[in-house]
């Protein structure tokens, strides 16, 4: 019972629950109905249709290099959890063989999106990811700063869905688009917010170290605000930082690694403008 480090049990539970939901979404609804709803698993479905190669194995083969390229930016713990999650997800797709085909493709798209979205959201709550288009988009954003993560994700998923219109048919591609929309809504809901960005207020006696790690590891700006603790009368430095939904887990990891007693307020941002977020057009 001691093979997991302290604090990892909660992450493991989130990841395991998320994998169950996401695997059921693909096994019961999406794969049997040839709905390629974006991401690397969608690419693997297209490859499987053309070559017969296993979907799970192909998805893992596509994801593995992405994790290796991103390990420096996301941290080795996050990368290790993600690799394990991606491997388990791929293995389950190729070995369970549930393949219960729902007769109504509309229901398959809706429930496939609900299950897979809830699953991926839970995996992210467990400080991990199964890879896919968002991680690829984050990597592309670091290489091409003007290309925002949201735009990169949309492009990758859009290309996969467009390709499915030729590999399968146009009708299934349209259902895949609906499924992708529902999946993203569910991920946002599980991660406690329908918005693409969050603003964090961080109060800590180790604010300089937290700010340094945010700047280095997340490449996000941090603003220090001068404050005063009204009970103690002591001066306090309040850090303000805005991040996208994929980075919220990494930000919490950094804060609590430096100062487990830090006080954090996280607010959902309706709109965030500036470098790394939306451009301001007049």
157 shares a domain with 18 = yes
Q: Which of the residues in the chain have pLDDT under 50? A: 1, 193, 281-282
Q: For residue 130, which phi and psi values (nearest 5 degrees)? A: -95, 10
Asked if residues 69 and 190 have their Cβ atoms less than 8 Å apart, the reply is no
Q: Examine the fold and report which residue of 190, 215, 250 is the final residue of a domain before the chain moves on.
A: 190
pLDDT of residue 189: 79
Tell whether 175 and 38 lie within a shared domain: yes
Last residue of a domain, one of 163, 190, 217: 190
- pLDDT score of 202: 92
Q: Are 121 and 186 in contact (CB under 8 A)?
A: yes
Same-domain status, 64 and 186? yes
127 and 149, same structural domain? yes
| DSSP string for residues in 71-97 | HHHH-HHHHHHHHHHHHHHHHHHHH--
Q: Kindly report the three-state secondary structure assignment for every residue of 152-178.
A: HHHHHHHHHHHHHHHHCCHHHHHHHHH
CA atoms of 155 and 94, how far apart (whole Å): 27
Structural domain harbouring 136: 8-190
- Can you point out the beta strands (E) in the chain? 197-203, 223-228, 235-244, 263-269
Number of domains in the chain: 2
Please indicate, yes or no, if residue 275 is contained in any of the structural domains: no
- How much is the pLDDT for 282? 42
pTM of the predicted model as reported, rounded to 2 decimal places? 0.68
> Which of the listed residues 190, 210, 245 is the one where a domain comes to its end?
190
């Amino acid at each position: 019972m001691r093979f997991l480090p302290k604090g990892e049990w909660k992450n493991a539970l989130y990841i395991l629950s998320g994998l169950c939901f996401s695997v059921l979404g693909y096994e019961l609804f999406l794969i049997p109905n040839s709905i390629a709803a974006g991401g690397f698993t969608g690419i693997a479905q297209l490859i499987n249709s053309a070559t017969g190669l296993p979907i799970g194995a192909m998805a893992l083969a596509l994801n593995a290099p992405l994790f290796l390229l991103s390990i420096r930016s996301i941290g080795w713990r996050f990368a290790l959890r993600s690799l394990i999650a991606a491997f388990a997800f791929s293995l389950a797709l190729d070995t369970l063989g549930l393949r219960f085909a729902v007769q109504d493709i509309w229901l398959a798209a809706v429930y496939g999106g609900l299950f897979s979205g809830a699953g991926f959201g839970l995996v992210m709550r467990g400080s991990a990811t199964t890879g896919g288009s968002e991680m690829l988009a984050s990597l592309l954003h670091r290489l091409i700063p003007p290309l925002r993560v949201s735009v990169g994700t949309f492009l990758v998923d859009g290309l996969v869905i467009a390709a499915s219109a030729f590999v399968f048919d146009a009708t299934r591609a349209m259902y895949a688009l609906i499924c992708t929309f529902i999946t993203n809504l569910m991920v946002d809901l599980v991660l406690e917010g329908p918005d693409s960005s969050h603003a964090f207020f961080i109060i800590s006696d180790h604010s300089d170290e937290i700010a340094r790690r945010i700047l280095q590891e997340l490449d996000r700006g941090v603003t220090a605000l001068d404050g005063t603790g009204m009970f103690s009368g002591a001066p306090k430095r309040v850090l303000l930082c805005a991040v996208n939904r994929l980075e919220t887990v990494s930000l919490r990891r950094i804060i609590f690694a430096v100062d487990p007693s830090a006080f954090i307020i996280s607010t959902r941002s309706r709109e965030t403008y500036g470098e790394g977020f939306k451009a301001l057009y007049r």
